[in-house]
Amino acid sequence: MPYPPATRRAILGAGAVLFVIALLSYQDSFRLDNSLTSTLTSAKNTICRVWPGQSLYEELYDDCDETIKSPFIGVADTLGNPQRCLKGSSRLRHQITPGHNWSEVEWGFVQRQCAAFEHKLSASEYLPHHIWRRPADPQTVKISSEKRTAIVLRTWDDYEYTEKRLTWLRTLITEASLQRPGKYQVFFLVNVKDPNIQLEEDDAAYDQALRQFVPEEFRDMALLFNERTLKAWYPLVQEHGAQDQMYQALQIFSQKFQQYDYIWQLEMDLRFTANVHDTLQSATAFARAQRQRNLWERNGRFYIPHLYNTYENFSAVVDAEFGDTGIWGPVQTPDFIPKGIQPPRRVNNHWGIGEEADLISFMPMIDPVGTNWVYENNIYNFEAGAGTPRRAAIVSITRSSRRLLQLISDAQLARGQWLVSEATLETFALLHGLKAVTVPHLISFSEETKMEDLLGDINKGPPHSKAGGDSPSMLYTKNGFLPGPWWEASYWFTGNGAAKIWDEYVDGKLLPPMLLHPVKEK
């Protein structure tokens, strides 16, 4: 992600204000020195355009194909309108073509320019690397009272940026931050594998690594870290590798960029079959609408439409099963005083409705105890050890609040308390009594999978953690992978199912809003 030219880096808050005034006055394209433009198309609807005088954001929709014939789970409308499908051909247009050399775009600069329409940005907003590499200073970094959300793409220094992958990344940024601006800002968080590079102290070393590991078009939205960075922040934690500490860099990001109240962490091999902005907004709206009563019990199992028909029926079944005996507020722990909002004294059906979730996940949050998961007993520096109440959700694709990340950061810094990545956000949310929601999105399985086998495999655990229990096939257990339906599933952490569906989508199949993972296309 390239640095903008020196003249652009010099643009301060006053310059941003003048820029907006000019746009509002002329209602026309404002040409920059490399022809990047942002256009205010109407008083109520801002569209930021990369190329002057052209809108490349035409969205072509059609009725969805009847293509989900294989067994599936989840609610069809949690990620958007299941009857209105977005054509892949209208989205993936970011290849290099005559007059449109996308590799020359500076995506970070365009995003920040676009955000200036919606927010009063400080000068520091134009210098993300300076924020990232200086000591956290809440007084100067917190710049807006309006809730904002960052999207952080986790990647590696040796990630291969093929043309297909570049096309997807440009699409994601365009849809999330430019086509519907004002809500999301996209960043790259780049894990540099060499722990000896002094990314914090050595400007030249940082700049060299940035040029070496990140394509020019993304450099001004990329932030580099390595294990040396994480060790300096969290010296009491014994492990800093990505496998076990997927969120430490995000914790640092949240402290450095305190203007973002929420952060989506997405993986490079995740694909959306619908508009990225709209999908994330729909998931957020679903989570906001959930009530706290028996929420952890709902989170602990897959929603199966074949059995319940509607999510409301599913919720009623869980309520009938648990009554008022489910988790209500923080789970008791001797390790710290819970920081979540204290629940009402009496259980009711309204607490939590309309409140933002501190954690959003796309897989059930199960109790790892008794699962035979390879990381079942990996919990460190908690007083009760493996007896500590916990939750875990596979696939580290989540939205977390700055509050939750700060609580985890405090625990790791002061007491060295940590769990593996898939159990970190979930466990701290449980112990602090924060609102955490599993979004039951559409997940399809192989057409060869029989519904009765699926029902018997994915919800066979105890009532509070039905997606868990003894050796669930969705986990990598101490006995390795177990037989089950997940290898061809559209959302898991390995297998070929997601890639096959994505290829069909790119070739013209009209699919409802889905998350596909992993897609390893090159």
For 111-163, write each residue's pLDDT tens digit: 888 877 666 554 445 567 778 987 655 444 545 556 789 999 999 999 999 99
Please report, as a single letter, which amino acid is at residue 363: M
> Are residues 247 and 350 located together in one domain of the fold?
no
How far is residue 287's CA from residue 78's CA, in Å, rounded to a whole number? 9
Contact 152, 250 (CB under 8 A): yes
Domain boundary among 229, 255, 283: 283
Do residues 479 and 372 lie in contact, with contact meaning Cβ atoms separated by under 8 Å?
yes
**Boundary (domain end) residue, out of 283, 311, 335:** 283
Judgement on whether residues 276 and 310 belong to the same structural domain of the protein = no
Please enumerate, as own/partner, the contacts of 445-451 that have beta carbons within 8 Å and a separation of 24 or more: 445/70, 445/71, 445/72, 445/485, 445/486, 445/488, 445/489, 445/490, 445/497, 446/70, 446/485, 446/487, 446/488, 446/489, 446/497, 447/69, 447/70, 449/70, 449/71, 449/485, 449/488, 450/71, 451/71, 451/306
Residue 55 pLDDT level (bands cut at 50, 70, 90): low
Q: Domain check: are 305 and 271 in the same one? A: no
Residues 294, 180 share a domain: no
Does pTM top 0.85 for this prediction?
Answer: yes
| pLDDT reading at 10 higher than 60 | no
Number of domains in the chain: 2
Q: What is the mean pLDDT of residues 492-513?
A: 95
CB 155 within 8 A of CB 93: no
Q: In this structure, what token pair is assigned to residue 495?
A: 């297998």
* Residue 339 belongs to some domain of the structure: yes
Residue 24 lies inside a defined structural domain of this protein: yes
- Cα 56-57-59 angle, rounded to 5 deg: 130
User: Is 41 a residue whose pLDDT tops 70?
Assistant: no
Residue 321 lies in a domain: yes
Count Cα atoms within 13 angstroms, Cβ side, for 22.
15
What pLDDT sits at residue 59? 86
**342 and 364 share one domain:** yes
Same domain, 93 and 128: yes
Q: What count of other Cβ atoms lies within 10 Å of the Cβ of residue 262? A: 25
Q: What is the mean pLDDT of the chain?
A: 86
Q: Enumerate residues 6+ apart whose C-beta is below 8 A from 6.
A: none
The mean pLDDT value for 459-476 works out to 96
Count CA atoms closer than 13 A to 344's CA, side-chain side.
11
Q: Are residues 263 and 313 in the same domain?
A: no
Q: pLDDT grade, residue 56 (50/70/90)?
A: low
Residue 99 pLDDT greater than 80, yes or no: no
In a domain, residue 163? The reply is yes
Q: With respect to residue 1, please indicate whether it lies within any of the assigned structural domains.
A: no
Distance CA 346, CA 258 (A): 35
Work out the average pLDDT over 240-254: 94
Do the domain assignments include residue 520? no
Q: Are residues 55 and 119 in the same domain?
A: yes
Range with lowest mean pLDDT among 40-54, 216-230, 450-464: 40-54
Query: What is the pLDDT at residue 344?
Result: 93
Same domain assignment for residues 301 and 323: yes
Neighbours of 188 (CB within 10 A): 24
Residue type at 227? E
What range defines the domain where residue 107 resides?
Answer: 6-63+83-283
Task: Classify residue 482: in a domain, yes or no.
Answer: no
In a domain, 298, yes or no: yes
Write down the pLDDT at residue 137: 55
As a dihedral over the C-alpha atoms of residue 293, residue 277, residue 509, residue 171, rounded to 10 degrees, the angle is -150
DSSP state letters, 159-186: ----HHHHHHHHHHHIIIIISSTTSEEE
Lowest mean pLDDT among 69-73, 96-100, 162-166, 439-443: 96-100
- In the three-class reduction of DSSP (H, G, I as helix; E, B as strand; rest coil), residue 437 is classed as strand
Same domain for 250 and 312, yes or no, is no
Q: Give Rg (Cα) of the chain.
A: 23
At 35, the pLDDT band (50, 70, 90 cuts) reads very low
3-state SS class at 248: helix
Q: Which of 96-105, 113-122, 329-338, 497-506 has the lowest mean pLDDT?
A: 113-122
Mean pLDDT on 352-378: 97
- C-alpha span between 44 and 59 (Å, rounded): 19
Same domain, 117 and 11: yes
Tell me the three state secondary structure of residue 152: strand
Residues 210 and 104 in one domain: yes
